Homo-oligomer: A and B are copies of this chain.
Amino acid sequence: MTSRAAKLLAADVPAIAAAHFEAEADPYGPGNPGGYVNLGTADNRLVWDLLAPRLSVPPRQADVHYGLLYGTPELRSAVATLLAPVWPGVDAEDLVVVSGATAALDIVATTLCDPGDVILVPAPYYAAFDTDLTARSGARLLPVYLSPDDGFALDPVAIDRALTEARREGVPVRAIAVTSPSNPIGHVHSPTVLRDVVRVATAHSVDVIADEIYANSTFGAEFTSMVGERNVHAIWGLAKDFGLSGLKVGVLHTRDPEVLAAARALAYFAPVSTHTQALVTHLLSDGDWVEGFLTESRRRLHASATATMALLDDAGIGYVRADGGFSLWTDLRPHLGGTDEHTLWQRILREGRVNILPGSVFAAPEPGWFRLCHATGADTVATGIDRLAGVLS
């Protein structure tokens, strides 16, 4: 067995995936009231009724034969049109379409980093970064811990300090990876903070990986993109804003010609089915429908987040107020008691049959925080919080 294969096998399945499949194997529902309530997966199940009528398109012959492997011109053009309001000056030629945001993150990390190079990540961060940004690229993550005292706000000063220190110690930092809107917290970062983060990165000659997959899933504040300078590489996909997580359509936007060329070369290994590309192109082709869909999706997410916060308030469970995304960062620190986070997590999963992910998988700076996803339907969320409160009491 090669040392590389051994390393792949030693790496844990991302906890986020393992818990998802366990919960989904026996899901709560009208026919299965004792099943798992899955509040662990950031999936948007609030919009299927809007999507279904737009997804019935029989493929044409051209849709099932070889296409350009970094995305058909038609799809890249449709994505550019869609994202023009959020990505200033976006050009279809700067987009690389691959089989999922995971593949896009892997590709940008592989392009920016040689094995052993380091990517700085404000923590808590998106749990799958651990795998997506490192498993194939060989890069390493270095967390910069954000403070619970100001709700884990993104902190350019802390990033600057960490970069200065890393540089002094000879740590080869190549990039900063930021989720914006933030996952797991749900913050929509302010334009000032984002500009400062890019400024800090530029001052230290590192690139920015901006995971903007929730760009259109905001409700409490207006989203600003980090796209602009050549050292900013942004990720988007269909999984969140359109609730089409299974289609595995990921998008990388970059204005660095070398990163673009290398990403196109790597896209050859993770192309999207032309059949799915044709479907998505059709879906995005009607601008009025898209605008209506995104407006309604935001409205439903807002209603879902508001209702969930009310339920948490009633149950006496704390959380950080979210402006976007599908989840709430809930504060179960008072319920740790004499036990550790892992034990509490397992009690919630086994006794409560509720899947919420513990802060440790997001590299939280302290134990007791959990990510609770609410975009799965009001009844499911109410049942889940009810069970959660039962376990905690």
Q: Are A3 and B114 in contact (CB under 8 A)?
A: yes
Q: Is the CB of A43 within 8 A of B65?
A: yes
The contact of A269 among B4, B5, B103, B117, by CB within 8 Å, is: B103
This chain's copy number in the assembly: 2
Question: Looking at the complex, which one of B58, B65, B243, B259 makes contact with A5 (CB distance below 8 Å)?
Answer: B259
CB within 8 Å for A273 and B248 given contacts A65-B45, A111-B8:
yes
Segment from A176-184, A193-201, A274-282, A299-307 that makes contact with B: A274-282
Q: Is A100 at the interface (CB under 8 A from chain B)?
A: yes
Instruction: Flag if A272 contacts B258 (CB, 8 Å).
Output: no
Q: Which residues of B contact A270 (CB under 8 A)?
A: 99, 103, 269-270
Identify which of A48-56, A209-217, A218-226, A313-321 touches chain B: A48-56
**Contact present for A20 and B64 (CB under 8 Å):** no
A153 contacts partner chain B, Cβ-Cβ < 8 Å: no
Residues of B within 8 A of A113 (CB): 2, 4
Known: A99-B271, A103-B270. A262 touches B64 (CB 8 A): no
B5 and A246 contact, CB distance less than 8 A: no
* List of B residues within 8 angstroms of A52 by Cβ: 58, 61
When distances are taken between beta carbons in the complex, the residues of chain B under 8 Å from A65 are 43, 45, 245-246
Q: Which of B2, B20, B64 contacts A66 (CB 8 A)?
A: B20
Interface flag for A84 (CB, 8 Å): no
State the Cβ distance, A347 to closest chain B Cβ, in Å. Answer: 25
- The closest CB in chain B to the CB of A272 belongs to B273
Chain B residues with CB below 8 A from A99, complex form: 99, 248, 270-273
Binary contact track A219-251/B, C-beta < 8 Å → 1, others 0: 000000000000000000000000111111100
Instruction: Please report A residues at the B interface, Cβ cutoff 8 Å.
Output: 1-5, 8-9, 11, 13, 17, 20-21, 24, 41, 43, 45, 48, 51-52, 55-56, 58-59, 61, 63-69, 99-100, 102-103, 106, 110-115, 117, 131, 135-136, 174, 243-249, 258-259, 261-262, 265-266, 268-276, 279
